[in-house]
Structure 1
Amino acid sequence: MAHEVVEILSAEELRRTVNRIASEIIEKAGDLSQLVLVGIYTRGVPLAQMLARQIEVLEHIAVPVGALDITFYRDDLDQISLRTPARTDLPVDLTHKLVVLVDDVIYKGRTIRAALNAITDYGRPSVIRLAVLVDRGHRELPIQPDFTGRQLPTAKEEKVKVYLQDIDSRDGVDLIPRPEN
């Protein structure tokens, strides 16, 4: 019996989830003039842009959005598939800013650890928070998101796949079952 892919978030549910996370960021940020959203490549970047657009709709303030490549900060390069590094692009100095790191899925925590190391090369923010669309558990490091779209307990063999319009021509989140033996 083949396991079916399970839709976790439809396009509409993803949009609502992003809107909720944006509202939570606004609520906890305080001074929005100090807020900078930094997306982690690949899907964290368009997610950060989506959050910034929603914050602007709600609060009429344009929040700077940066893009962070963490490839060479990873401690598990031997265990992951490498891609061509992207260009880190941060629109402002991060010193004394409230930085919200944005990623699509948090799993073991290693991507976020690498992002924290990378961020310190671009200034010393006063606060760094973490926003993720999906938290699938199985942490290997003591890292927890401040803003979470969906908690999704998974088996280690399962995959969570986020689709975003800018990259994948559709929005949504699927749970891909473990492969058949």
Structure 2
Amino acid sequence: MSARTVLQEADIARALTRIAHEILESNRGAEGLVLLGIPTRGVTLADRLGPIIAGIAETEVPVGSLDITLFRDDLSQHPTRSPKRTDIPDGGIDGKTVVLVDDVLFSGRSIRAALDALQSIGRPAAVRLAILVDRGHRELPIRPDFVGKNIPSSRTERVNVRLKELDGADEVTIES
């Protein structure tokens, strides 16, 4: 298998800064925003986005995580998935603009599961989607609001996101 690097550390940092600006512009500021990362790497990305947004808007933005394991439609194929932690920030999500954060958008099934999980917790005023890498090949009518990079890929290729906090380095590679 050959892998090629499509994003390096500086590219990821730039993409997250741009996403932060776009989120603030779309929301007309930081008021009422809540960031929820989808485990595993979406949580790390949300944890990075929070301080970037806070630095731009000069106000804290609540950051949490949303486990989607029990809402997935492929549990019968992958029954060994262990649930991760759901951490809803103080103040909850009711009436807030929730930005779901994930690393790669592919079929859209994880995001569908996230929407179901979110619905079981509360009723946000709006839900937005921030993705580091959109690789296409959607199976569901789901489109991200904020994208770090569109990376066209074939269904046989694998997009790997590595983040310092989890993997020791920041990079996005494509394996064929």
Q: TM-score range by the shorter chain?
A: over 0.9
Q: For residues 78 and 164 of structure 2, what CA distance do their matches in structure 1 show? A: 25
- Aligned residues: percent identity? 49
| DSSP-derived class of the 1:33 partner | coil
The Cα shift of 1:71 comes to 0.4
Matched residue, 2:47: 49
Matched residue, 2:152: 153
Letter of the aligned partner of 1:72 in structure 2? Answer: L
Q: For residues 154 and 79 of structure 2, what CA distance do their matches in structure 1 show? A: 21
110-119 or 31-40, larger mean C-alpha shift:
31-40
Matched residue, 1:141: 140
The Cα shift of 1:105 comes to 0.3
Q: For residues 14 and 29 of structure 2, what CA distance do their matches in structure 1 show? A: 24
Matched residue, 2:105: 106
1:48-105: CA deviation from partner (whole Å, max 9, x where unpaired):
1111111111111110001011000011123347432112111131100000000000
**TM-score when normalising by structure 1:** 0.93
1:130-165: CA deviation from partner (whole Å, max 9, x where unpaired):
000001111100000000111111111110000111
- Which runs of 5 or more structure 2 residues have no equivalent in the other structure? none
Matched residue, 2:31: 33
Q: For residues 38 and 77 of structure 1, what CA distance do their matches in structure 2 show? A: 22
Mapped contact 2:75–2:81 kept (Cα < 8 A): no
- Which runs of 5 or more structure 1 residues have no equivalent in the other structure? none
The Cα shift of 1:169 comes to 1.2
**TM-score when normalising by structure 2:** 0.95
Q: For residues 21 and 31 of structure 1, what CA distance do their matches in structure 2 show? A: 13
Letter of the aligned partner of 1:46 in structure 2? Answer: T
Mapped contact 2:162–2:169 kept (Cα < 8 A): yes
Letter of the aligned partner of 1:95 in structure 2? Answer: D
Matched residue, 1:70: 68
Matched residue, 2:86: 88
Matched residue pairs, number? 175
Letter of the aligned partner of 2:157 in structure 1? Answer: E
Q: For residues 81 and 163 of structure 1, what CA distance do their matches in structure 2 show? A: 25
Letter of the aligned partner of 2:88 in structure 1? Answer: L
